[in-house]
């Protein structure tokens, strides 16, 4: 693995290796100082709480250090090309995690850089979140293959990579969202090609999608950068696609609920569900640290 831009970049074995390494790092926290004198750059154009913190703490606990780079403070804000910036960052850094509005910018950075590039979120993908979510599912359920994930809500960057990863490791994946926001056949074709017997279904009916699910996942209906269309879009999702206790009752009795946070409580999920015993959202938060450690070790170790 040279870069991680989407989970298409990783094989099934590589995904499972990262998950297993994450679990080992979590269970053996003292075996950490392996990246002495390595520097992680964090180039962020979008706000972040959990992703930024977990990357900074991860590299620190591994013995390295981090430099936070707000894009508005760089010459990027004065017209320097993304390619020239990437060449400069390659001179000083050992690895770069970039959080961008446009995934094409991330591709440009990766194409010109001489250091590993990690997608810390783009408009189309969020592979780090998907990996830590898969780790959380395995930790909670004891396995991945054969389980069913039900995604309810907008088919966003988190959903795309979670779906790619889930299909690669042998999980069924179902999506419930309004017809207008369902993914195109062209965008789904490469994901269908990954399937080897596990099912991928898309429906407007959240009840049928959640039926018999082991894992139910949602995210904000309005992604960062899409706030201008919030009112019209929300009207398509509310209240039908809000995860309530009643809707969740259609899943298996031991279902777990997941959300990458932050949450708009009362929109995509009620507080009753988010704070319930079946919710593993804080375990997701914790596991981002170990997933990021595992990624950094795989890229730099």
pLDDT digits (tens, 9 = 90+) for 164-212: 999 999 999 999 999 999 999 999 999 999 988 889 999 999 999 999 9
| DSSP conformation class of 201 | E
278 neighbors 255 (Cβ within 8 angstroms): yes
Report DSSP letters for 134-182, one per residue: HHHHHHHHS--TT-EEEEES---HHHHHHHHHHHHTT-EEEEE--GGGS
Q: What is the reported pLDDT for 123?
A: 95
User: φ, ψ for residue 95 (rounded to 5)?
Assistant: -160, 150
- 291 in the same domain as 197: no
The pTM of this model reads: 0.95
pLDDT one-digit tens code per residue, 8-51 = 999 999 999 999 999 999 998 777 778 999 999 999 999 999 99
pLDDT confidence tier of residue 64, bands split at 50, 70 and 90: very high
Domain annotation covers residue 41: yes
What is the pLDDT averaged over residues 78-97?
A: 96
Q: What is the reported pLDDT for 256?
A: 98
Domain annotation covers residue 1: no
What is the pLDDT averaged over residues 270-285?
A: 98
Query: What tokens appear for 55 in the block?
Result: 């990357």
Q: Is the pLDDT of residue 232 over 90?
A: no
Please tell me the distance from the alpha carbon of residue 274 to that of residue 278, in angstroms, as a whole number: 8
Residue range of the domain that includes 167: 129-284
- 93 in the same domain as 195: no
Q: What is the reported pLDDT for 1?
A: 72
Q: What is the reported pLDDT for 229?
A: 67
Domain annotation covers residue 268: yes
Residue 178: count of CB within 10 angstroms of its CB: 16
- 202 in the same domain as 247: yes
Cis peptide before 197 (omega within 30 of 0): no
- 165 in the same domain as 213: yes
Q: What is the reported pLDDT for 108?
A: 97
181 neighbors 204 (Cβ within 8 angstroms): no
The mean predicted confidence, pLDDT, of the chain is 95
With CA atoms as reference, report the closest residue to 254 among 283, 286, 277. Answer: 277
Range with the poorest average pLDDT among 18-32, 119-133, 247-261: 18-32
What is the pLDDT averaged over residues 45-67?
A: 96
């Amino acid at each position: 693995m040279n870069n991680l831009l989407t989970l298409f970049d990783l094989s099934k074995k590589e995904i499972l290796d990262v998950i297993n390494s994450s679990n080992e790092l979590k269970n053996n926290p003292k075996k950490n100082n392996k990246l002495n004198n390595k520097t992680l750059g964090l180039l962020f154009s979008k706000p972040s709480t959990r992703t930024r913190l977990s990357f900074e703490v991860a590299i620190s606990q591994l013995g390295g250090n981090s430099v936070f780079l707000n894009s508005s403070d760089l010459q990027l804000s004065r017209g320097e090309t993304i390619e020239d910036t990437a060449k400069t960052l390659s001179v000083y850094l050992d690895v770069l995690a970039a959080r961008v509005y446009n995934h094409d910018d991330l591709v440009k950075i990766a194409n010109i850089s001489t250091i590993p590039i990690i997608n810390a979120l783009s408009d189309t993908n969020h592979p780090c979140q998907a990996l830590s979510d898969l780790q959380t599912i395995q930790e909670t359920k004891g396995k991945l293959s054969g389980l069913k994930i039900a995604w309810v809500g907008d088919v966003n960057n988190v959903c795309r990579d979670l779906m790619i990863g889930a299909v690669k490791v042998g999980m069924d994946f179902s999506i419930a969202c309004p017809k207008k926001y369902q993914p195109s056949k062209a965008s789904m074709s490469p994901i269908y090609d990954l399937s080897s017997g596990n099912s991928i279904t898309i429906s407007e009916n959240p009840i049928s999608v959640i039926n018999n699910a082991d894992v139910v996942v949602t995210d904000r209906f309005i992604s960062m950068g899409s706030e201008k269309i919030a009112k019209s879009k929300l009207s398509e999702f509310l209240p039908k696609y809000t995860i309530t206790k009643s809707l969740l009752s259609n899943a298996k009795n031991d279902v777990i609920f997941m959300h990458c946070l932050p949450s708009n409580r009362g929109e995509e999920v009620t507080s009753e569900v988010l704070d319930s015993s079946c919710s593993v959202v804080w375990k997701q938060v914790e596991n981002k640290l170990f997933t990021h450690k595992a990624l950094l070790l795989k890229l730099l170790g």
